[in-house]
Structures are given as structure tokens and as C-alpha cells.
Amino acid sequence: MDRYQFEDLISDYLENTLNLAQRKDFESYLKSHSEAKLLVENIQKAKDTLSSLPKQSTSPAFMKNLNKRLSVERMKKVAPIQKSYFRFTPLYASVMAGLMFAFIFVSIEIFQPGESKTALPRKAFADESSMPVKPQNETMPLLELNRTDLAESDTTDYEKDEKKKKDYSKKMRFVND
């Protein structure tokens, strides 16, 4: 007999419902294992203590009322407890946060103060005295070109703008020289 079989048969042994062969096998296990004998004695003491307690009387309709109460409790639907942020579930809170972010981003893009048509003074990040001043009569070369010049000019034509490459061979020094 192993420990699991022994534990299964303890209540049958205490109630004296084991057949003769099982009872002898159980008692031989008790003799060979002292902790098993101690366990059976403790269970027997607990059983005796419980039987010596005074009996409590209940109303005759106690079981009927208990079963009725249990059936009512089973019928109740328990609402799952959900976390909420300002009465939003996490899903709706994240959707609302995304919509607010999109609204603010679109609002900034539409109503940018830098691109407004009214003349608003711009604040410079650098000191204006350190910036070079262009004369008013100087214009950019692109603005001087006519439409025909624009059509004839080709930005992929590198033969006209080929720069002379500098020769650095006389200025180079190697580490071991």
C-alpha cells in the first residue's frame, strides 16, 4: 500500500467500513509508518471533538430557504468589473486620445501662424545685426531669366558647369614619410 491509497482509506477505517483484507493491510501500514499512525490518531481526535459539540437547532424551513437563496444567487448575472479612465474603458480612452491628437495636429497644420496671409511680425532666432544685408536693387539670377531662357536651360547638362578639380597630390604626406 502506498501513501495515496492509505489517505483514501483513512475515513473508511475510522467508520469501520473496510473489509477484512483491506483492514489488515491498512493496520500493517500503520505499524510500519509511525507518521501514518499519528495522522489517524489526530483525525480520530478531531472527529471525537466535533461529535462532542452541542447540536444547533435550525428552523424546519432552513434547507428550503437555503436552496431558494442559492438558486436566486445563481440566477443573478454578475457584471464584470472594468477599469475606466474618466468613465471611458481603456479602448475608448485610447481612441479618444488618438482623436484629440489628430485634431490638435490638423488644427496646427491648418492655422499655422507662419503661413497666414496677414502680415504678422516674425521673430528672428538670430541677431539681425549679424545677418548680411542684401541691397534692395540686387535680384536673384533666376528672376532675370525669361521664359524662353528657362526652357533652354538644362540642369542635367554638366559640361557647361564643369569645375576644375584641385590637385592635392603635392600636399599629401603619408605617415611613414
**pLDDT digit string (tens) for 34-90?**
999 999 999 999 999 999 999 888 899 999 999 999 999 998 877 777 677 677 788
Give the cell for residue 42: 489526530
pTM of the model: 0.36
Q: For residues 46 and 43, what is the distance between their CA atoms, to the nearest angstrom?
A: 5
User: Is 40 within 8 Å of 17 (Cβ atoms)?
Assistant: no
**Res. 162: pLDDT tops 70:** no
**Res. 107: pLDDT tops 60:** yes
**Res. 141: pLDDT tops 60:** no
Q: For residues 16 and 26, what is the distance between their CA atoms, to the nearest angstrom?
A: 12
Q: For residues 30 and 24, what is the distance between their CA atoms, to the nearest angstrom?
A: 10
